[in-house]
Amino acid sequence: MNTSSRALARTLLPLLLPLAATPALAQSSVELYGIVDIGLMTQSRSGTDGRLTTVASSGYRQSEWGLRGKEKLDGDLTAFFNLESHFQMDTGALAGTGDSAGTGTVLFRRQANLGLSGSWGSVTLGRQYGPALLAHLGTEPRIFKEQFSNIYMFAYNQYAATLGPIPAGTNNNNDVGIFMKNAVQYRNTWGPVTLGVAYAPGEVAGSTSRGSNFATGLTYKGPLELSFSSQHMKDAGTGAMLVKHFGYGAALPVGAFTLKANYLTVKNDSPASVAVSDVRGLGLGVDWDWSPVNKLTLAYYHNKDRINSSDATRNVVISNDYSLSKRTILYIQGAYVDAKAGATLKTSIVAAGIPAQNAKTNLLNIGINHTF
């Protein structure tokens, strides 16, 4: 080593030694992602009026954008976060929420949470998807698509629990039964079984029960997929049970076909424990992958309120999803809705509600869905 090389080594060595003793920096990433979905929808009836045609947002999947990130920590521990906003493509406005009256505009309606995960599972804190809905994604006939599925029977029957003002009631931790606020959720998968358990304390002084929300979701994925869910919400003022939900589902692949059955129940009571509604929703369907880029789905839904027999619908849906690429889907979906005279949002498969009471309505939705 010549004189200049030795001088360079003496200069760099003090700088390099601290780096050699420093552990490798944790690996981290932040991702911008989203879904944009828009199309045209026409229906043969609109209330007591005639045909209605609209530019419809979110026919296949909700339009959303979000940020998610993770950081690898020591051992098998990973920190992660999710921020997810819901908007309407036809107007550009933020989607409305099922939050309690007085909440105002919610930027991150779908998710705003932070958590840790490892080989033991994950724990997530904040606003997040509840485990009850997640359990049935593989068994609901149309995967809870934003249009023409029982996502609305599931959601609208739990919306009543949020109609009161903040802070009096009735359950401030619920957004249409799908998004849980102020929640802690544990999730893990053991072989074919996935379990999710979430709890949102009522945050009412002097009580750990009033205003609380407790939900579970269980999925078994074998040759036959099975799903189960439950969700219970209590009134913030009285502590009375407002919502009792249970769900059951099954899906069986048979070659290019997948047979599905899903049964959802939601019972609503008032804070005075008076029965308001008791809606049962049956969904039956079959998926047919008739080409590498085409999926045809046929589904039947029968929803009925056992307390009010005139609040009921029978629905038939047929759709085809054509994959233009891995990110872009062109879809066409039609629905036949037979609604009784007292049919309401609680038995609807249509996002905007019952097209017309005591009538039979045909709906057609053609759109495009792109993920990024």
Q: For the segment 133-153, what is each residue's pLDDT rounded down to a tens digit?
A: 999 999 999 999 999 999 999
Average pLDDT in the 75-104 region? 92
Instruction: Give the distance, in angstroms, between the CA of residue 367 and the centroid of all CA atoms in the same chain.
Output: 20
Alpha-carbon span 329 to 216, nearest angstrom: 32
Structure tokens at 234: 């209590």
Q: Looking at the predicted structure, is the pLDDT value of residue 24 above 50?
A: no
Which has more pLDDT, 203 or 112?
112
Domain extent listing, the chain: 28-371
pLDDT in tens, 303-351: 999 999 999 999 999 999 999 999 999 999 999 999 999 999 999 999 9
What pLDDT does 179 receive? 96
pLDDT at 105: 84
CATH topology for 28-371 is Porin (2.40.160)
Give the 3-state secondary structure of residue 107. Answer: coil
H or E segment to which residue 83 belongs: strand 78-86
User: pLDDT tens digit string along 234-282?
Assistant: 999 999 999 999 999 999 999 999 999 999 999 999 888 899 999 999 9
Residue 68 CB-density burial (10 A; 0-12 exposed, 13-18 middle, 19+ buried): middle
The structure tokens listed for 309 are 């027999």
For the chain, what is the mean pLDDT? 92
pTM over 0.75: yes
Distance, CA of 298 to chain centre:
22
User: Whose CA is closest to 170, among 130, 210, 230?
Assistant: 210
Residue 272: predicted pLDDT: 86
**Structure tokens belonging to residue 195:** 């379990």
Mean pLDDT of 142-166: 91
